[in-house]
Structure formats: structure tokens, C-alpha cells
């Protein structure tokens, strides 16, 4: 006949085995749960990586006619006559669009220019001349942080005069130091380059052109030429 001590030992062994099995089961379930969470995290990261795309994909061009609102630039730059927009993208293979804003009016003849030079040794920006130029770079993923870092590497100037951050390069034009602005546009996620025309030395006006470009160019203006042409 088994003693009470024997029965107690058997019961204790059974309880110990059960507890061990329960702990093993919990460990397996915890490991499976962690593996499931890791798989979901990987799937989420993969999905984000697949959906991130530059503002304008596949190196498509954007029409200056769509991107630049000439009337708003005319008002912002206090021009007496409406500015004209010229698409000069063919001269910049790295930009999504490069647009020249030309002063309105009839260009003076050679004789008229000669007469003007007698009164003033500098003709300035004449009708038909470029007031400023806007280039949009939208084919890559950019950020303000990257722009700031690049600006520091090039030893250019940090600038807040347009209301947001811009990297400013000082370009010597004869006796004048002329500003060229490079900024990250939070709306479109594009980088915008803005500079004055060959005869433009008014840094305040170039700054207004930069601010207007930032304020007026949005995602709805970034219509690729191919897509626009396909719209009935």
C-alpha cells in the first residue's frame, strides 16, 4: 500500500510537469506573437518604401504655362506691364521646369538703346529682358535638412528674408553682389532655384520673385506635359 508521502510526491511531480508545459506553451505563444509583430513591421516598412515617390516621377517635364502664374508675379514684383513667361527648360536638363519671366513692353531698338546709354551708362532691365528665372527640381526626394547641409558645405548664406529658409549664393555681377535663392518648398516637396536675369541687380526684387515662386507654386501646378496633353 502506497504511503501518503508517495501520493504527495506523485502529485507534486504531476503539478511540476503541468507547470513546465504551461510555461513552454506561453513561451511558444510569446515567440509566435513577437514573430507576427516583426512580420507586420517589415510589411509596413516595405509598403512605405514602395509608396514614397518624388513630387514628379519618371523625370517628366512640367509646363511653365501651368507652373507660373504670370499675373501674380506681375503684381508681386510691382511691374507696370504684364510679365511674359518663356519656357527655357531645354537649357537645364536637371530641372523639372525652368521658366523665365520677361519684362513686358516693346524692346527698344538699337538706336533707342544708344540714346539711353548717353543718359545712363547702365541700361538695366529693358522690356523683353529677363527679370528673374525660376527652376523647379522635383525628380528627387529632398528635404530642408539636406538643403541646409548642402548650403553649409558650399559656404553659402542661410537666409530667412522670404519668410522661410533659403540658401543664398552671392554672385558677383560686375561691381554688384547679386543674390540667387535656393529653397525647399514644403507644399510641393520640390527644390526651387530663383535668380535674377543677366541685367538684374535688385536683390529685393529677386527676393520677391523667390517668395512669389514659393507661395504660388503648388502641387496643382506640377502637371507633367505628357499628362496635360492627354487631358481632353
User: Which CATH number does the domain housing residue 124 bear?
Assistant: 3.40.1000
Domain ranges, residue 120: 64-230
Burial (CB < 10 A; 0-12, 13-18, 19+), residue 134, is buried
Shortest CA distance to 134 belongs to which of 161, 97, 102? 97
Higher pLDDT among residues 78 and 5, named by residue:
78
Q: Are 209 and 182 in contact (CB under 8 A)?
A: no
Position 152 scores a pLDDT of 97
Cell of 75: 503684381
Same domain (yes/no): 17, 77: no
Question: Do β-strands 130-137 and 84-87 pair in parallel, antiparallel, or remain unpaired?
Answer: unpaired
With a cut of 90, say whether residue 216 has pLDDT above it: yes
138 contacts 222 by C-beta, under 8 angstroms? yes
Average pLDDT over the chain, rounded to an integer? 85
d(CA 222, CA 211) in angstroms, rounded, equals 18
Would you place residue 229 in the very low, low, confident or very high pLDDT band (cuts 50, 70, 90)?
Answer: very low
- Residue 1 resides in a domain: yes
All three cell numbers of 230, joined, read 492627354
Same domain, 34 and 71: no
Residue 57 placed within a domain: no
Asked whether residue 31 falls in the same domain as residue 83, the answer is no
Residues 133 and 171 in one domain: yes
Same domain membership, residue 109 and residue 13: no
- Residues 131, 47 share a domain: no
Asked if residue 198 and residue 121 are part of one domain, the reply reads yes
Does residue 44 sit in the same domain as residue 68?
no
Identify whether residues 31 and 124 lie together within a single domain. no
| Residue whose entry in the numeric block shows the C-alpha cell 506635359 | 225
pLDDT at 151 over 70: yes
Q: What is the pTM of this model?
A: 0.74
d(CA 88, CA 99): 6
How would you list the strands of the sheet with 84-87, edge to edge? 84-87, 97-102, 130-137, 191-196, 176-184, 166-173, 157-159
pLDDT at 27: 64
Residue 59 lies in a domain: no
Model pLDDT, residue 231? 44
Q: Give the pLDDT score at 230.
A: 45
**Are the CB atoms for 133 and 102 separated by under 8 Å?**
no
Same domain, 86 and 123: yes
User: CA angle 207-97-82, nearest 5°?
Assistant: 55
CA 194 from centre of chain: 13
**Confidence label for 107 from pLDDT (cuts 50, 70 and 90):** confident
**Residue 131 resides in a domain:** yes
Q: Which residues are bridge partners to 99 per DSSP?
A: 87, 134
Q: Is the pLDDT of residue 3 over 60?
A: no
When pLDDT is cut at 50, 70 and 90, the band that residue 13 belongs to is: low
CA dist list (Å): 131 to 55, 91, 117? 27, 17, 20
Which triple of cell numbers denotes residue 125? 532691365
**What's the pLDDT tens digit per position in 153-200?**
999 999 999 999 999 999 988 789 999 999 999 999 999 999 999 999
Quick check: 101 and 84 in contact, CB under 8 A?
Answer: yes
Number of structural domains found in the chain = 2
- What pLDDT, on the 0 to 100 scale, is given for residue 118? 79
Number of H helices, E strands in the chain: 7, 7
Predicted confidence at residue 212, as pLDDT, reads 98
Same structural domain for residues 6 and 85? no
Let me know: does 64 contact 90? Beta carbons within 8 Å: no
Is 154 contained in some domain?
yes
pLDDT in tens, 32-61: 677 676 766 776 665 554 567 899 999 999
Q: What is the rounded distance in angstroms from the CA atom of residue 75 to the CA atom of residue 112?
A: 28
In terms of domains, do 223 and 134 share one? yes
| Res 60: pLDDT | 96
Amino acid at each position: 500500500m502506497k504511503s501518503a508521502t508517495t501520493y504527495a510526491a506523485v502529485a507534486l511531480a504531476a503539478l511540476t510537469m503541468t507547470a513546465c508545459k504551461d510555461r513552454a506553451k506561453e513561451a511558444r505563444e510569446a515567440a509566435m506573437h513577437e514573430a507576427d509583430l516583426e512580420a507586420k513591421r517589415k510589411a509596413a516598412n516595405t509598403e512605405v518604401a514602395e509608396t514614397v515617390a518624388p513630387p514628379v516621377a519618371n523625370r517628366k517635364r512640367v509646363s511653365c504655362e501651368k507652373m507660373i502664374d504670370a499675373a501674380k508675379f506681375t503684381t508681386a514684383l510691382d511691374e507696370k506691364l504684364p510679365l511674359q513667361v518663356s519656357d527655357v527648360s531645354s537649357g537645364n536638363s536637371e530641372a523639372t521646369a525652368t521658366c523665365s519671366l520677361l519684362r513686358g513692353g516693346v524692346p527698344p531698338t538699337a538706336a533707342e538703346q544708344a540714346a539711353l546709354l548717353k543718359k545712363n551708362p547702365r541700361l538695366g532691365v529693358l522690356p523683353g529682358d529677363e527679370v528673374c528665372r525660376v527652376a523647379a527640381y522635383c525628380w528627387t526626394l529632398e528635404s530642408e535638412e539636406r538643403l541646409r547641409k548642402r548650403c553649409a558645405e558650399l559656404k553659402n548664406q542661410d537666409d530667412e528674408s522670404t519668410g522661410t529658409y533659403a540658401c543664398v549664393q552671392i554672385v558677383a555681377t560686375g561691381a554688384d553682389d547679386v543674390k540667387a535663392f535656393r529653397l525647399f518648398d514644403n507644399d510641393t516637396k520640390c527644390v526651387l532655384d530663383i535668380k535674377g536675369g543677366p541685367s538684374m541687380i535688385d536683390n529685393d526684387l529677386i527676393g520677391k520673385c523667390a517668395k512669389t515662386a514659393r507661395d504660388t507654386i503648388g502641387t496643382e501646378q506640377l502637371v507633367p506635359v505628357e499628362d496635360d496633353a492627354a487631358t481632353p
